[in-house]
Each structure stands twice: as structure tokens, then as C-alpha cells.
Amino acid sequence: MADKSRRPLTGIREVARLAGVSQGTVSHVINHPERVAPETRQLVETVIERLGFVPNRGAADLRRGHSRMIGLILPDITNPFFAEVARGAVAAAAERGYVAVLCTSDFDATKEENSLELLEEQRVAGVLVIPAGQVPQRLARLRARDIGVVLVDRAAKSDEYCSVSVNDVAGGEIATTHLLESWPTQHIALVNGPSSIRQCSDRRRGCRKAIRAAGLPPEALTEVVMPAMTVAEGVQAGQAIIDSGRLPDAAFCTNDLLAIGVLRAFAAAGITVPGQVRVVGYDDLDRGHDLPIPLTSIRQPNYQLGHRGSELVIAEIETPDHHHERLVFDPELVKRATSTPSLAARWQSPR
Amino acid sequence: MADKSRRPLTGIREVARLAGVSQGTVSHVINHPERVAPETRQLVETVIERLGFVPNRGAADLRRGHSRMIGLILPDITNPFFAEVARGAVAAAAERGYVAVLCTSDFDATKEENSLELLEEQRVAGVLVIPAGQVPQRLARLRARDIGVVLVDRAAKSDEYCSVSVNDVAGGEIATTHLLESWPTQHIALVNGPSSIRQCSDRRRGCRKAIRAAGLPPEALTEVVMPAMTVAEGVQAGQAIIDSGRLPDAAFCTNDLLAIGVLRAFAAAGITVPGQVRVVGYDDLDRGHDLPIPLTSIRQPNYQLGHRGSELVIAEIETPDHHHERLVFDPELVKRATSTPSLAARWQSPR
DNA sequence: CTGTTAGCGCCTTCAG
DNA sequence: CTGAAGGCGCTAACAG
């Protein structure tokens, strides 16, 4: 508890000196304890303990030629979806003794590139990236440097990268099928975001597939496309549906925010859910649980995405002859009152 | 686009060779461009570009004796509160050219210690920590190593560390005062979590203060303490209030989850809000926005907490003679329908 | 302005 | 099983 002489209570060298052994031996007790005589080891460990010595990972990494950091680039850590991915990624990394360096792109391709550069400078062992838009060009350079790369929430096109993603076509299909099967349905509204977002077009594809499978004609589906996927847009979409004069039996909203907006518009117009129209969303946000009527939704294995993603990069890094893998998860339906008349009863306002 | 000869298209040395200058000069064009003749610089930059050379930050850090990484330890990145803090912290770090290493404690003191050890090994320049419980002992060691430390969401006791936190007493006071002033009120219920959580006791303190200030007797306040702060507990608390037979004029719930539960219980019992009872929560979760009746709540400057936190560590790191600062933010009332009869009208279910 | 040089802290053959 | 020695890639004096 003294003043510790001000100098970086440094290194392996000091430990060696105090223990009366060589640096090499100290290094061994740290990295290959078994190669050292029990008593020497014991001695060294005691000194390490007494000095409060903590090895300098950076120096070790430099010497070894590779680090134990993995970079994580995502658009917005505040988004529950990405946060969950991050949680899985950080957990898996920690399990394997890696630390995660977090970068945020704010959906900005430039920031994304900058982050990639920073991570390259740090010589991270690998990166997990949830691209904000296009798959960043710069990833190629990282790969050239033998930095592991895995795309998250986006299937790799070619076999250039590993990727973990979830099957949005299946999600759209599941949602629609549920609507179709749980109650007689002739007319479905699809409330969607811009087709330029892959998720949106994939989910639409699944939706159409289900309709076809049910033997319904394409006209059974009416699509409302909104420029953004917020509650406000949802309200507008809901209003548009109402104004169209032809109320659908059910509405599949491509995300929960849109669904919440639609629900709001319906409530304001006195349209009952699920009585007149059944609704399902996508993402299974917590926000959807406490609505006047809890929202049926599609849940994605977000934590798994991140977790398996980390495992994949690490495998890619540690395995000499690595084959790129493309993992695709399936989403899952979570039934709630908004699509299920029987569940809805208890939610109707009392009295 | 060739095969790049397999070797780590390495270093400054190679650049120097190809440019026909010395390593030192290359280093200068990277770190002190102004100290180099424009043409030499131009030449070197061209070579750097052509080689796709990216400096090895780890090596530089080793040489310089300090890194540009800041560690971030928080209980759960999935919690909107912490996520927002992280966003601010990461942004501020990036602004100053630092990268953030993210660690998660899962509210587990052991994991917290482990993370601190990892960060110490990485020789991060500083750490931002949101303690899971007690302030970790190990922080002292980091400080001894000249690693910057700032406590987030917790005021430092002594003047050992910098800290950024928010005034929970003020929050409790604001919430209660709002309830008291916006409508005639004789009886308030305080739905609280365990007193062992500092936030809970602080908010209670603020609540009492407001009641005293309004000239009401202590009996005007009835406290319901729940062992956890979830929606489920909130429902129970709401039920308890109902069962007590004496409905309060207003309820201050110490977080939004509790409030949501209380609201649910009230709705199920046919008690109108804000008609019979007005309610305010705490945290201003998104979840509260889409309730049958939007929830009045207290919002904390989470992003600011993280942002200023990062700025503080960086200041502590970069400023030789640094005085520990204790920043305290004030929370803010967000009025919504749940406490405001006039706002509530438009939310009443139509028809 | 540019070149030379000596390490930062650690790991890892290679001998003894 | 242990010690000695040579860098990893880069920066920061110091000379020229």
C-alpha cells in the first residue's frame, strides 16, 4: 500500500528479477505453466501476485502477430434488435477470451468505413458487421490482412464471407399463413416499408408465397408501401386502409412500429382488433406487449445471431483451412391477442 | 490486385524502402506531417496509398506507452437505459479518436472484475463503468496504473473518481410536485422497488420532500415496496392498492415497468386513469408511449451521461493535473395523458 | 528537413 | 527445465 515508486510497476522483467529467474521463465509460467517446475512456478506466481503484475496484452499481441479483439460494427446500439445481437456477440467473444470493440455507424456508410479503418489499425482478429446499407468495399482489405469477417443479418452473396442471417421470406410466410389459417380470410393488407430494404422485399415475398399456397388469388393481397417504418407512418397506413373503404380481414405489418401505428389508427376509427381486423407485426418489440391489445409478432433469434456470429469469426480466425459458412436462422411466430380472438377477450376494457 | 506475396503487407519499413526514405520520415508523415517537406510527404503518401499501408496502432501504442482505447463496462447492453449511455460514450470516444471496448457484467460482480482485468491487460487508457452493485475494488488498481476511471450513473463517494450521475432525489421531487400541482391531491401512493437500490431510496426521498414542501402531512404518502421492478410486480402493486380500499389521488411509480403494471391492474378493475387516479412513471421508456393511455414519466439524459462520461475520462487521461469532477444531471418531466386529464381526452377509446 | 538508433513489453526458438 | 537473445512495428530523441 506504499507509493509504488511512481514507475509503471512494470513488466515481466521486474517479476523475473524479484523471483531470481529469467524473463523467459516468467513468460512460461504465464503461457505454458506446465513447462515449468512446480516450485519455480509457485515462486514466480507469488511474486506476480505480490507485485500485482498484469501482463501487457498489447505487447504480447505484437509479438505474436495477432490480437484477441473482435470488432463489432452496427448501425445503432440503441435499437433493441442490434442491442440483442451485440449482447450475444459480446458474450460469445468473452467466452473465448476475446474482447469486443464496439463501433457505431449510425446508418452512415462513411462512418462505417472509418470504423473499419480504425479496426484495421487496431489489428483486430476479426470483425462482425451489420452493414448499414451495401456491404462495405473495405471489407476486402481486411480479409486480405487475414482479419476474419462475418456479415450479420445479411446473407453473403458470393462465398467471400461467412454470414449469419435470418430467413425473412420464411418470416413473411409464417406471419401470413398464421393469419390465413387462424380465421377465415379473404383479403389481407400488407403494410410494408420501402422495397429497397431487403427485409421488406423478402417479407413480401414470403407473404405472397403463403397466399399462393392457400390457393388465394394475388388480388387477395393489397400492399401499402410507406417510405419509413415508424409509428407515425403506421398511423398513416392505417388511415389509408380505412379510407380505401374496403377493410381487410387481416393486416400483416412488416415491423412492429408500423403495426402499432396501424392499431392506433384503427382504434381511433373505432375499428376493433382482432374482431374486425386481425393484425400481426414483425420484430416482437417489448413495446408491443403492453398495447391495449398485445401484438402478435415474428421474433428473430437476435441473440443467437450475435453469438453464432462471434463463434464463426473466431472459428475463421483460429481454423487454418476455413470454409466460409452461411448460417440462416428461422424466425418464430409469437401469438398474441391482436391476431387471436380467443386471447383478446381478457384484454377488452372492463365494463 | 495481385496476390500480395502472402506476407503481412507490412510496415512502415517497406513503405520507407519503396519511397527511398527512412522509417523515421515515414513515421513523421503519419504523425507530424508538417515537419516534412511537401514533396517528400507527397511521395511517401503515394507509396502508402499504393501499398494500402495501414499503421499498426498496437505497436505505436506500445512504443508511446499508452493506448487510445477506453473500456466500457455496463450491466446489460440490452437495457434501453444502458444502451443509450453506451451510444453517447461511443460517440464521444469516436469524436476524440478513441475506440470503445465493450464489456458486459450481467449484474454479476465477478464478471465485472474479470472485465476490469481484461481491460487492464489491454492497457486501455481509461474506463467508464456503470457498477452492477458496489463500486468494484479493482478500480483502485487501474487508477494506480494511471488508467482513467469514471463512474457512470453513480456519484463517487469520496473524491477518488470522477463520476457522472443524475439526481434521483430531484427526479422524485419533480414527479411528485407535478402530481401535487396539476390537480388537487390529498393522497399519493408511492410504488417503489427495494430500498437497497440507491435509485429507489433517492427517489423516495425526493417524493417526501415534495410532499413536505406542499404542506401535506407524511400520512399523505402510502408506500408500496416491491421486491423487483417489473410489469408483473407492478400489477401486484396495483392490486394491493385497490385492495387497500382507499384509492389514492395519484401514484408515483419508481419506474415505468411498475407503472405499466399498475396501469394494467387499474384497467382490469375498471379504475380510470387519469380520471380517478393519476399516474407517473420513471425512465420514459418507449414502451410507455403506446399504452392505452400514454404514460407521464421522468426522463434522464442518458446519452449525455455516456457522452460527458467519455469526455471526462479523456480529460482525465490527457490532462496532467486533473481534478476529479462529479457531474450531476437533472432529470426532466415528460407530461403525458396518464397524469393530465386534458391530454387524456383524445386517448379515450372512441365510441 | 531527414536519417540513425534505441528500445516499448513480451514471446519464443535455441542452447545449456 | 531454465537462461540468453532477437525481434514484432513503430516512435522519439538526436544527430547530421
For residue range B266-282, list pLDDT tens digits in order. 999 999 999 999 999 99
Give residue for cell 475520462: B313
pLDDT at residue A294 greater than cutoff 80: yes
- Of the partner residues B61, B104, B269, the one whose CB lies closest to the CB of residue A90: B104
Q: What is the pLDDT of residues A78-88, one digit of tens each?
A: 999 999 999 99
Q: What is the pLDDT of residues A50-63, one digit of tens each?
A: 999 999 999 999 99
Candidate from A90-99, B141-150, B223-232, B287-296 with smallest mean pLDDT: B287-296
Q: What are the chain A neighbours of B143 within 8 Å (beta carbons)?
A: none
Cβ separation B83–A78 shorter than 8 A: yes
Query: Which candidate in B3, B62, B69, B99 is best for mutational testing of the A interface (most A CBs within 10 A)?
Result: B99
Confidence of residue B1 (pLDDT cuts 50, 70, 90): very low
pLDDT at B4: 38
Cβ separation B61–A58 shorter than 8 A: yes
pLDDT at B283: 95
Angle formed by the axes of helices A198-213 and A168-182, nearest 10°:
40
pLDDT at B344: 62
Angle at B79 between CA B78 and CA B81, to 5 degrees: 135
Query: Could you count the other beta carbons within 10 Å of the beta carbon of residue B35?
Result: 10
What are the backbone dihedrals phi and psi of residue B234, each rounded to the nearest 5 degrees, phi first? -60, -40
Cβ separation A292–B349 shorter than 8 A: yes
pLDDT at B346: 52
**Closest CA–CA distance from residue A346 to any residue of chain B (Å):** 9
C-alpha–C-alpha distance, residues B86 and A145, integer Å: 29
C-alpha–C-alpha distance, residues A293 and A75, integer Å: 31
Protein residue nearest nucleotide C12, by CA to C1': A24
Q: Which H or E run includes A248? A: none
Q: Are B196 and B226 in contact (CB under 8 A)?
A: no
pLDDT at A6: 42
Q: Label each residue of A176-196 as H, E or C.
A: HHHHHHHCCCCCEEEEECCCC
Q: Are A286 and A345 in contact (CB under 8 A)?
A: no
pLDDT at B291: 82
**Closest CA–CA distance from residue A57 to any residue of chain B (Å):** 5
C-alpha–C-alpha distance, residues A55 and A72, integer Å: 25
**Taking chain A, what is the end-to-end CA distance rounded to the nearest angstrom?**
70
Q: Are B62 and A60 in contact (CB under 8 A)?
A: no
**Taking chain B, what is the end-to-end CA distance rounded to the nearest angstrom?**
70
- What pTM did the predictor assign? 0.90
pLDDT at A9: 58
Candidate from A141-145, A299-303, B176-180, B188-192 with smallest mean pLDDT: A141-145
- Of the partner residues B55, B78, B260, the one whose CB lies closest to the CB of residue A290: B260
Residue ranges with strand state E in chain A: 69-74, 99-104, 126-129, 148-152, 162-166, 188-192, 221-225, 250-253, 278-280, 297-299, 326-329, 332-334
Confidence of residue A101 (pLDDT cuts 50, 70, 90): very high
Average pLDDT score over residue span A115-127: 96
Edge-to-edge strands of the sheet including B188-192?
Answer: B221-225, B188-192, B250-253, B278-280
Average pLDDT score over residue span A277-282: 97
Confidence of residue A276 (pLDDT cuts 50, 70, 90): very high
Query: Mean pLDDT in chain A?
Result: 91
pLDDT at B351: 24
Average pLDDT score over residue span B180-193: 94
Query: Could you count the other beta carbons within 10 Å of the beta carbon of residue B61?
Result: 21
- Of the partner residues A102, A289, A291, the one whose CB lies closest to the CB of residue B90: A102
Angle formed by the axes of helices B57-64 and A57-64, nearest 10°:
130
